[in-house]
């Protein structure tokens, strides 16, 4: 299978890709939802980290820090960083706290704290509005961190328009100069629904889900 189909099959198996009616942060009502927090088996996380590591190697972006925004980015950074290290990458990983800590050593960034001159890649599950990138940039600026964010790696590109007509990935690339790479896209999900590999479990009402996602893309997607 192609890597996009491998990811979607894994997500369906782990119930990390759901079909139905879901209200997003944007207020839009989506016919599908991606939740990497649903991965409960270590074997699933291991497979996911392999797919992310493959994506990173194909992107050919040079960075020395892998950063996972809390909360869903934390296990992704740890697992994918471990897989990359197994392949020979000698980098660091970090993530942030959601809540301030008023005891112990405090600090808002856990793991390696990026330094001036570092090149940072963010790893996330999906991006709909580019929130994690903006929040990470704001956090680095507030802490006086001069590291450069060079890439964002995500599992699914939802391909949705933002308020200015561009997708979140377009905004991130054009406004911040950050490369964005995804393992799969919403259109890959539609294709998977219509041609599920024979060795994967069939999805009930697959064609209906595919039509609803296509209609959603027609209303909110980018070409």
Active site residues: 101, 103
At a CB cut-off of 8 Å and minimum separation 6, what does 176 contact? 133, 137, 149
The token duo for 76 is: 């992704």
- Which one-letter DSSP state was computed for residue 107? -
Evaluated on CA atoms 150, 86, 90, 73, the torsion sign reads positive
CA gyration radius, the chain: 18
If we measure between CA atoms, which residue out of 2, 52, 81 comes closest to residue 153?
52
Stretch (H or E) spanning 121: strand 119-123
């Amino acid at each position: 299978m192609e890597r996009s189909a491998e990811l979607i099959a894994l997500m369906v198996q782990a119930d990390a890709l759901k079909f139905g009616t879901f209200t997003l942060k944007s207020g839009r009502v989506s016919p599908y939802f991606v939740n990497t927090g649903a991965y409960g088996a270590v074997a699933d996380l291991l497979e996911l980290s392999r797919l992310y590591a493959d994506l990173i190697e194909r992107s050919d972006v040079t960075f020395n820090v892998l950063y996972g925004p809390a909360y869903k980015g934390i296990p992704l950074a740890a697992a994918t960083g471990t897989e990359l290290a197994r392949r020979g990458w000698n980098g660091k990983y970090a993530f942030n706290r959601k809540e301030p800590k008023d005891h112990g050593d405090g600090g808002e960034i856990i793991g390696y704290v990026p330094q001036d001159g570092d090149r940072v890649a963010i790893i996330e599950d999906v991006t709909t509005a580019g929130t994690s990138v903006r929040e990470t940039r704001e956090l680095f600026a507030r802490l006086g961190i001069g590291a450069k964010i060079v890439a964002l790696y995500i599992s699914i590109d939802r391909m949705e328009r933002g308020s200015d007509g561009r997708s979140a990935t377009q905004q991130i690339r054009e406004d911040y100069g950050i490369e964005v790479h995804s393992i799969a896209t919403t259109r890959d999900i539609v294709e998977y629904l219509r041609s599920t590999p024979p060795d994967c479990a069939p999805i009930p009402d697959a064609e209906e889900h595919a039509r609803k996602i296509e209609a959603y893309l027609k209303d909110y997607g980018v070409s």
